[in-house]
Amino acid sequence: MAIAADRFTGFVAIDWSGAHGSSHNGIRMAMCEVGQAAPEIVAPPGRAWSREGVADWVLERAAEPLLIGFDFSFSAPFVARGAHLPGDAPTADARALWAHVDQSCDDPDLGARSFLEARRGRHFYFGAADGKKADFLHWRACEVAADGGRKPSTVYDAIGASQVAKASFAGMRLLRRLDGRVPVWPFDPMPPAGALVIEIYTSIAARDAGRPRGRSKMRSAEALDDALTHLGSEPHGTLQRYDDHSTDAILTSAWLRKMAGRDDLWHPAGLSPLIARTEGWTFGVS
């Protein structure tokens, strides 16, 4: 079923963080409405966003026609090995995984560091003491390209600048908080009204905006405006600081506005019912 042109009137992109603590400079939120006006940064209620604060923001807007993208992996690989965490508590689907993570953590602000550290060397790679890194690398179906290429990191890699483990498992605690209150695609079908949460990957937005592979980050007003122009957006308002978190959020918000009506992105060829239930999918991977 094609998406109605007026299904969403607001497009939100959230650059996420799995850092320890309760106040995160790495979290940025940007939002735009239909039309061509550039997205704007959504200011946090305090000095910086907390993960709990982001959850509250989304829940307060559950009835609004917003498409809300989060830049973290919504689940772990399942199909290739028949389990998210082989040998751990069985989780038959992504929702069960979210519950398992949430119930196993007492970290502040929806953090998940303790979950990963308790499974270090069994499921998560923190360094050479855990063995060969290659033994820990497994990918979801949407993370494996048709040519066999894979994303630079996986949810089991917990070391280095490109690791996504901490952010993703903290994000699963957020999804548990939203579950049943705000639909999450593709685990839930497209609702006829209200907000919808999806998984995004800011590098996809950057490539669609003309940024070359390996140079997706924008650290100047000129670079950001050039990318926004590729997406049919007007220039942005001046930022106090051009950090990756802010520019990623702004650009990806504009990208969501442009791509939300593409039926092929909502019905990718590789998205089977099993994958939709257990692994999820990154919006923009067709």
**pLDDT tens per residue across span 13-49:** 999 999 998 989 999 999 999 999 999 999 999 999 9
203 in the same domain as 155: no
> Cβ distance 168 to 180 under 8 Å?
no
66 in the same domain as 202: yes
100 in the same domain as 144: yes
209 in the same domain as 222: yes
Quick one: residue 110, left, alpha or beta (phi over 0 = left, psi -120 to 50 = alpha)? left
Q: What local confidence, expressed as pLDDT, does residue 193 receive?
A: 96
Closest CA to 3 of 201, 256, 249, 179: 256
172 in the same domain as 191: no
For the stretch 215-271, pLDDT in tens is 657 667 888 998 999 999 999 887 878 788 899 999 999 999 999 999 999 999 999
Q: Please determine, for residue 1, whether its predicted confidence score (pLDDT) is greater than 70.
A: no
Q: Which value, to the nearest 10 degrees, does the dihedral of the CA atoms of residues 40, 283, 72, 186 take?
A: 120
Mean pLDDT of the chain: 92
In a domain, 157, yes or no: yes
221 in the same domain as 161: no
For the stretch 68-123, pLDDT in tens is 999 999 999 999 999 999 999 999 999 999 999 999 999 999 999 999 999 999 99
In a domain, 261, yes or no: yes
Q: Count of domains in the chain?
A: 2
Final residue before a domain boundary, out of 145, 178, 211: 178
Residue 218 to residue 244: CA distance in whole angstroms = 6
pLDDT top residue among 106 and 149? 106
Closest CA to 277 of 124, 137, 75: 75
Q: What local confidence, expressed as pLDDT, does residue 129 receive?
A: 95
Rg of the chain over all Cα atoms, to the nearest angstrom:
18
In a domain, 82, yes or no: no
Task: Kindly report the pTM of this predicted structure.
Answer: 0.95
214 in the same domain as 172: no
> Cβ distance 265 to 172 under 8 Å?
no
In a domain, 4, yes or no: no
204 in the same domain as 171: no
Q: What is the DSSP string of 43-98?
A: PPSSSSB-HHHHHHHHHHTTTS-EEEEESS-SS---TTTTSSSTTSS--SSHHHHH
Q: What local confidence, expressed as pLDDT, does residue 179 receive?
A: 97
246 in the same domain as 171: no
Residue 23 to residue 78: CA distance in whole angstroms = 32
pLDDT top residue among 161 and 134? 134
DSSP code of residue 98: H
Final residue before a domain boundary, out of 178, 211, 227: 178
Q: What local confidence, expressed as pLDDT, does residue 242 receive?
A: 77
Find the domain containing 199 and state its range.
Answer: 10-74+183-266
Q: What integer is the mean pLDDT of 138-147?
A: 83
Final residue before a domain boundary, out of 163, 178, 193: 178
> What are residue 70's DSSP bridge partners?
14, 199
